[in-house]
Chains A and B, each alone.
Chain A
Amino acid sequence: MIGEVKILKPGFCTTIQDKGRFGFSKFGIPKSGAMDQMSYNFANLLLDNDEDDACIEWVLQPPVLQFLRPTIISLTGASVDAFLNDKPVEMYHQIRVFKNDVLNFSFCKNKMYGYVGVKSGFLTPIAFGSRSYYKSITNDYILRVNEYLEYYSTVKYREQFSTISAPMDDSNSGELSVYKGADFDTLSASQKSMLINSSFTVSKTISRMAIQLEEKIPNSIASILTSPVLPGTVQLTPSGALIVLMRDCQTTGGYPRVLQLTESAINSIAQMRMGEKINFRIVN
């Protein structure tokens, strides 16, 4: 039976996300998908869902949700105190939900992105193989107040004594594993050394498309012919600013690609707030 969740408060830029779109770069369609894929995966694992079932992704300000039919949900990602009908519930657990239960949260304590998983995923329309919201690809691009989202309602619930412990918080180290970028070798020795040996600060310019870093690197290298880019590609702009492309990034770009974050580093930087320090460690 189809259940619906009513969005009592949408939060700020709350979206539906899954693993993202694959195989459509040839049309210029971005990959999209959950910013922190690890937390997103945990949300589905806890519910024994398919690995690409859609979750709600909120950023900094969580939504308030009312589930109109029974189901099971999970909460992962950014740390928050969560309440079901004003009673505290735990993150990284299965949470049993009954008819008309209201899920709300206190303020977000750390990190950026939180995930609400539901048994069998949210059933928003699929566009190009994914439910991930993206303006011009999906009809909706943010959740709105009093909107309803569908899911398969279930009353089946098996008491679970095992839990997944929340992943170790390693974001304090700030060390991001990277590959040398496609254009790394066009950098001078001193530029390379700055990139590898200095620490950088996450700026206030943060979105699902890109994260800009505060510190600049003196830049005299030329732009490149427009070439493929991916989430995690670090571009060096003519002004010397470093831009880390994120999940909603364009498929091609013309700035030199100096580094490429590993998949786990993309998940880490996604959860960092303005002012947090990072440094890059090259892996082979």
Chain B
Amino acid sequence: MKYELQYKRYSEKTILIEWPSGIDKNTLHDLLLYKKSIESFYDKLIVEVVVGYNSLLVLYTLAIEDIYSSIFELKSIYDSKNENVVLKNKLWKIPVCYSLSLASDLKEFSESKSLTIDEVVTLHTTPFYTVYFIGFLPGFLYLGGLDSQLQMARKTTPSLSVKKGSVAIGGNQTGVYPIDSPGGWHVIGMSPIDFFKPSVEECCFISSGDVVQFISIEEQEYNAIKSDVISGKYIPKSISI
């Protein structure tokens, strides 16, 4: 399907392309197909294409001389893009320990939601979350699909340091902190795996369009995986979809 897109100059070297507002899997699919077409058409003439929920930002290598002809070219790429390209995406099984000793806000969270801890864990581990894009911090996944029963406004005063690996909920979103960071989300679990490695070229193993499922593990298994991660033996589990 074709969307009514808007094109705007963003800066000297960038053009923003916007889809109708909304967090939607069909939009994501269309956006990723278009991104791929733009990348293969321009190759070295662009630095990269940045993804948001309903937008793409095209960063050109050089300043844009004629904005109208650049937009015209982008529009023709959209109109001629191959709809039948299959995007190779993966389903990732992400181990999370929902033990109270590791999840600083879980008790308070479940009480304010009038749910038992087990109910919170079930509601959080059931959905298949879509990865829309990575932003905010290096390796931070913007996930769609949080159960509405788990939505909760961000903390009014953010925590100064949320630990790396914290699985948290903020508003209608859920995610994992890839590095230590200040943050306003409620921490309900802890994942032992690295979502961002500064030392390797492929620093994030998950990409836009992938799907994530959280798997509940006990503290013992958390510790075992953690030591495998530290020694470099752990390989994230995935299925092609």
Contact = CB atoms under 8 A, between A and B. Distances in A.
B23 A28 contact: no
B10 A28 contact: no
Given A228-B16, A252-B136, A260-B10, A27 B53 contact: no
Contacts of B140: 28
B11 A136 contact: no
Nearest to B178: A28
Interface residues of B, number: 39
Interface string A2-28: 000000000000000000001111111
Contacts of A224: 21
B11 A179 contact: yes
B8 A182 contact: yes
Contacts of B52: 225-228, 252
A250 B53 contact: no
A225 B14 contact: no
A262 interface: yes
B10 A182 contact: yes
Contacts of A22: 47-48, 59
A55 interface: no
A137 interface: yes
Contacts of A251: 50, 134-136
A127 interface: yes
B57 interface: yes
A264 to B, nearest CB: 9
B56 to A, nearest CB: 8
Contacts of B138: 27-30, 136-137
B139 A250 contact: no
A128 B139 CA distance: 14
A251 B14 CA distance: 14
B204 interface: yes
Interface in A205-258: 224-228, 230, 232, 250-252
B107 interface: no
A97 to B, nearest CB: 33
Contacts of A260: 10-11
Given A26-B208, A127-B198, A250-B136, A230 B47 contact: no
Nearest to A264: B12
A263 interface: yes
Kindly list the 9 A-B residue pairs having the minimum CB-CB distance in the complex, ordered from nearest.
A252-B135, A227-B52, A228-B57, A228-B50, A225-B53, A28-B134, A25-B50, A23-B48, A28-B138
Interface of B: 8-12, 14, 16, 18, 21-23, 47-48, 50-57, 59, 133-140, 142, 178-179, 196, 198, 203-204, 207-208
